[in-house]
Amino acid sequence: MHIPTPEELRSRRETLAMKQTDLARRAGISQSMVARIEAGNVDPRVSTLNKIIVVLNSAEPKKIKASQIMHSPVLSVQPQDAITRAVDIIEKNNISQLPVIDNGVPVGCISETVIVKAIEQQRLHKAQQFTVQHFMEPGFPTVPPNIDVETVINILQQNHGVLVVEGRAVLGVITKHDLISLIT
């Protein structure tokens, strides 16, 4: 068991923007005792130290997990699906990309950007029967459902989306748009 130093206690209290008087009141001790403990002038009893730690732990903001902001079920296509199926799903749901999932396993991504580029290059004609695998891009990164949202935010800075996966099962998807809900 790690016993925090006076400096660690003070630093953690300050990180939580908590005043000594607030900590003292919530822990049921005097403010002067908190000040003396943080200054290293007194060696507190284990029970007093435990009260302080309990208050500091309870003041920690609760971390938001990927499973709390993901969308489910995941709209997706399979590699052998016609490209027109992907276009239909993208248009009907007003989204810009879709994961490509083969037998439950994420294998790639198809985006409106790639489809538009193929049309511009005259590679994609309605008469031809192209499949998703012809235009598939690398897949979305995957994360477990209990990963913190800060990590997901960092991943989304470099990617279209993130798939939330547990074992081999795709549980949900998170895109940059989903992060907007965190500020409302």
Residue 1 lies in a domain: no
Residues 6 or more apart whose Cβ sits within 8 Å of residue 95? 75, 89, 175
Q: Rounded CA gap, 101 and 60, in Å?
A: 38
- Please check whether residues 31 and 80 belong to one and the same domain: no
Cα 15–18–23 angle (5° rounding)? 125
What is the average pLDDT across 70-80? 93
Mean pLDDT of the 119-137 span:
74
What's this model's pTM, rounded to 2 decimal places?
0.63
Beta bridge partners of 99: 109
pLDDT reading at 18 higher than 60: yes
Mean per-residue pLDDT for 136-163?
A: 91
What CATH number is given to the structural domain containing 19?
1.10.260.40
Q: Does the pLDDT at position 123 exceed 50? A: yes
Question: Residue 120 is part of a domain; what is its CATH number?
Answer: 3.10.580.10
Residue of 148, 131, 127 lying closest to 87 (CA atoms): 131
Clarify whether residues 87 and 110 are in a common domain: yes
| Structure tokens that stand for 63 in this block | 């971390």
Does residue 147 carry a pLDDT above 90? yes
Lowest-confidence region among 11-15, 77-81, 145-149, 173-177: 173-177
The number of angstroms, rounded, from the C-alpha of 28 to the middle of its chain's C-alpha atoms is 36
Residue 104: its pLDDT value, please?
Answer: 87
Q: Which domain holds residue 20?
A: 6-59
21-37: average pLDDT: 94
Q: What is the mean pLDDT of the chain?
A: 88
Q: Give mean pLDDT, residues 98-110.
A: 91
Q: Band of the pLDDT at 127, cuts 50, 70, 90?
A: very low
Q: Where are the alpha helices (DSSP H) in the chain?
A: 6-15, 20-27, 31-39, 46-59, 66-69, 83-93, 112-120, 149-156
Report pLDDT for 2.
79
Q: Which of 99, 112, 88, 120 is nearest to 165 (CA)?
A: 99
Whether residue 80 is found in the same domain as residue 109: yes
* Same domain assignment for residues 47 and 102: no
> Using 50, 70 and 90 to split pLDDT, how confident is the model at 31?
very high
Residue 158 in any domain: the answer is yes
Report pLDDT for 62: 76
